[in-house]
Structure 1
Amino acid sequence: MTATTAAAGSRTADRYENRLLVILFLSFGFVFFDRQALSFLAPYMDAEFGLSNAQLGTLSGVLALTWALAGMFAGRLSDALGRRKPILVAAVVLFSLFSASSGLMGGFAGLLAARALMGTAEGAVLPMAQSLMVEASRESRRGFNMGLLQGSSAGLLGGIVAPLAVVWIAETWNWRVAFYVTIIPGLIVAALIWRFVREKSPRTLAEAPREPREQRAAAVKVPLREVLKLRNIVVCMLIACCYLTWFVTIITFTPTYLTEVKGFDPGTMSGVMTCLGVAWVLWGFATPAISDRIGRKPALIGFTVLAVCCPLAVVYVESPVLLGAIMVVTYTGLGCFTLFMATIPAETVPRAALATALGVIMGVGELAGGFLGPMVAGWASDQWGLQSAMFIAAGGAVAVVALCFALKETAPAVLRRRAAAVPAESAA
């Protein structure tokens, strides 16, 4: 009877895991659809507002600033209250409203305000979604699930659907309409979260009674200072700063670089940017899945070496077909994001500090790489040309490779193999 009950509970937990993955996949995917829309619509907005590269960088940067602050606050608030679902629902509704408001603005100041409000709402989504997903995931699928949630979702909806959809809408009607339509999927996703997402997953509820009493008591509250004493958390924060510089600089300035420097028409630019989305989807789940087997650290190092080449290809490859193919191979960083922003921290900190750790890593990374990175890249581009932004992005990835060597391995399968190897070596 006990075995039958356990099997039924396992099947229930597995079904919920898959359902939660679909809902959170859509949630974070539409976050990035909204975030990416500005970059793809920049050439159309520039014709009306005359935005400089520095102003374009500032628009991306202010969203990252408020995203960072909101992520850190929401993560800490969630752990303090023990609630995630209400925060996630409110965040999804608000970012949809604020994204649509960008289409109402008549100048740079209005756009700046709309993007700041949008970042305030969006910043809470990722820490809530990641912490819900990691608790519902089987150990063997942890990296894979987190990769689909954070990497592939953003790649599919933000990297493939967004450039095709928003450019088509802007060409058919105008860029303002492209912002207006973003409200619809956000409200649908918010309703799905409210209806189907649970505060505690069946897997968490099933495992709680088996935890030692001391462990459950210690999990009530973990001070932030204790989280920041963990080496992996500090290293992941530094990696986030450099990798966000790589990512935000590429997505902010590549569409403008392709149209203004290389002379691509909007359709060709959209096609090349869609190749980034294809790579985003592919590596978004492949990189974490590979890390489940070979380890988080070697996966981060290897795939980041490839990521260094992506912005350099934007500068040096002239053929749009060849450039798109190279981007598919080298735009590997978004798969790495899942590792240092979610999987490694989740395998490092106690469960009660999970949302706090995820919020801090995302927040610090967005402040340094997402806020300051594009502003510096925009200023440098106005001084020395848009290629400066691409070199800054490549430099961020180089710094990540160096930082990865300071990480401690956390992949459960790798740690088990190492532990099994020690007695064998001792016996020999």
Structure 2
Amino acid sequence: MISTRRAWLLCVLLFFSAALCFLDRQVLSVLAPKITAEFGMSNTVYSRVVFAFVLSYTVMLALGGRVMDVLGTRRGLGLSVAFWSLASAAHAFVTGPFTLGVARFFLGVGEGPGIPGAIKGAVEWMDPRRRGIAVGLATSGAAVGSVLAPPLSVWAERHIGWRGAFAATAALGAVWLVAWLLAFRGLPHAATTPVAGARPTSSWRSLLARSEVRRLLAARFCFDPVFYFYMFWIPQYLAKERGMSLAAIGALIWIPFVALEVANIGAGFVSDRFTARGWPQRRARMTLMLVAALMTPASFLAALAGTPALAIGLMAVLMFAHGIWITNFMTLIGDTVEPGDVATTVGLTGMCGGIAGMLSNLVIGPVVDHYSFTPNFLASAVVYPVAWFILRGGRPSR
């Protein structure tokens, strides 16, 4: 059994693993204007590089989630971070679009199991009464990584070049891995090894036979492309349609991700307070997700904003809404399935979202090349309400 103090320490490390995961993947999107110019890449070619990452990431969300449930977060997440750090280092040696795509593919292989593992650890190690805040802490690391990526990437590009920026993120992964191994010192191996009740209790087939699980998958298929769009395309949008320099992008693009960070942790806290006051778990999660869904039309207004600053502010509203949404969505998964199936189910939903992300990224590039970014902002304004209605029809969770 893990003490509360040790559980919080491990959740903090889960937070940093998610931060590293999103920092590593965001370096390319922040430096995309420079890298695409150096390699002579069009938006369509860039979309294929993004596709390579999303393809492997999508497959490994499902496979990696299952591996996490078998190995446990202790071993599984350590292997995941080690692999993606090596893949990040490989970016420093690419010679063109093809090798860049290969490096992105292997980065996705390593990062795929990461978020399912972080959610699994937060659900298993923390008292159920604090599940919302624990999941919020773990998932909020993604926002912190996204916040840090623009200024750190721009700073690194100026001082050690864009290749050095990728090598630096790999070094941070090595530091995290050492801290992760040290955090388990003094703990019996059995304390963090999957045991009865923590190992997978259901096959993929039996999970997919449950209507509430299918609704979770369908909902994530709807909303995940929005986050992929914001992760990989907003710097391109600000550079090409708003005329912002790389330095200006690095100085401002962190703002939406700060909003995401605040919402991640705040939504988990509020959700736990609702349940502490007697609200059913599902009602608490779904109420907050409805609030989030009603905020997302701000994304379309961002495309119509008169100034870059106002556009970024409206993007921050969308990201704040996403933070409320994703924290409660992930917690809802933990409420719906057994602990031993959490990483598997998170991975399956992520796979569905990744498939949607792959398809959307292949469309975004040509749409931008032939029209503009506006249709993408319009789509991101309507999918969360659709996803909420999909989830609303599910059977009550346990």
TM-score normalised to structure 1 length: 0.83
Q: Distance in 2 between matches of 1:38 and 1:325?
A: 23
Tell me what 2:271 maps to: 291
- Which residue does 1:405 correspond to in 2? 392
Alignment of 1:131-210 (within 5 A): 131-150=120-139, 152-158=140-146, 160-197=147-184
2:66 maps to which residue? Answer: 76
Verify the 8 A CA contact 2:298 2:318 in the aligned structure 1: yes
- The match for 1:303 is 292
Which residue in 1 is equivalent to 2:318? 330
* Secondary structure of 1:385's aligned partner: coil
| Unaligned runs of at least 5 residues, structure 1 | 1-8, 209-215, 413-428
**133 and 383 in structure 1: CA distance in 2 versus 1, 3 angstrom threshold:** same
> SS at 1:358's partner residue?
helix
Cα distance, 1:355 vs structure 2: 2.1
Work out the CA distance in 2 between the residues paired with 1:314 and 1:218.
44
Q: What does residue 253 of structure 1 align with?
A: 233
Where does residue 360 of structure 2 map in the other structure? Answer: 373
Question: Quick one: structure 1 residues 50 and 219, their matched pair in 2 at CA, closer, same or farther if it must change by over 3 Å?
Answer: closer
Shift of 1:255: 0.9
Is the 2:302–2:314 contact (alpha carbons within 8 Å) kept by the matching residues of 1? Answer: no
Q: Report deviation, 1:408.
A: 4.4
Q: State how far apart, in whole Å, the 2-side matches of 1:196 and 1:352 are.
A: 23
Structure 2 match to 1:422:
none
For the residues of structure 2 that align with 1:127 and 1:218, how far apart are their CA atoms?
A: 14
Q: For 1:24-43, what aligned pairs fall within 5 Å after superposition?
A: 24-43=14-33
- Give distance in 2, aligned partners of 1:167 and 1:219: 43
Change (3 A) 1:185 1:57: same
Aligned residue pairs total 385
Q: Measure, in 2, the Cα distance between the counterparts of 1:44 and 1:218.
A: 46
Per the TM alignment, residue 399 of structure 1 is displaced from its structure 2 partner at its CA by: 2.7
Corresponding position of 1:416? none
Structure whose alpha-carbon radius of gyration is higher: 1
- Asked if the contact 1:305–1:401 (Cα under 8 Å) also holds between the matched residues in 2, the reply is no
C-alpha distance in 2, partners of 1:75/1:141?
23
Give the drift of 1:27.
Answer: 0.7
The alignment-based identity, stated in percent, is: 24
Deviations 1:42-67 (A, max 9, x none): 01112201222222222222212111
What's 1:279 paired with?
Answer: 259
Q: CA 1:367–1:309 in structure 2 vs 1: closer, same or farther (change >3 Å)?
A: same
**CA distances 1:121-169 after superposition (whole Å, capped 9, x unpaired):** 110111122111101112221111111111x2111122x2110110122
Are 1:357 and 2:345 matched, yes or no? yes
Q: Distance in 2 between matches of 1:308 and 1:409?
A: 28
Listed one character per residue, the Cα deviations across residues 212-244 of structure 1 (whole Å, up to 9, x for unaligned) are xxxx68977322222112222111111211221
Aligned-partner Cα distance in 2 for 1:400–1:67: 22
Where does residue 203 of structure 2 map in the other structure?
A: 223
SS at match of 2:297: helix
Give 1:19's aligned amino acid: L
Indicate whether 1:117 and 2:97 are aligned.
Answer: no
- Distance change (3 Å), C-alpha of 1:31 and 1:371: same
Partner of 1:53: 43
Q: In structure 2, what is the Cα distance between the partners aligned to 1:334 and 1:366?
A: 18
Aligned to 2:277: none
C-alpha distance in 1 between matches for 2:324 and 2:107: 24
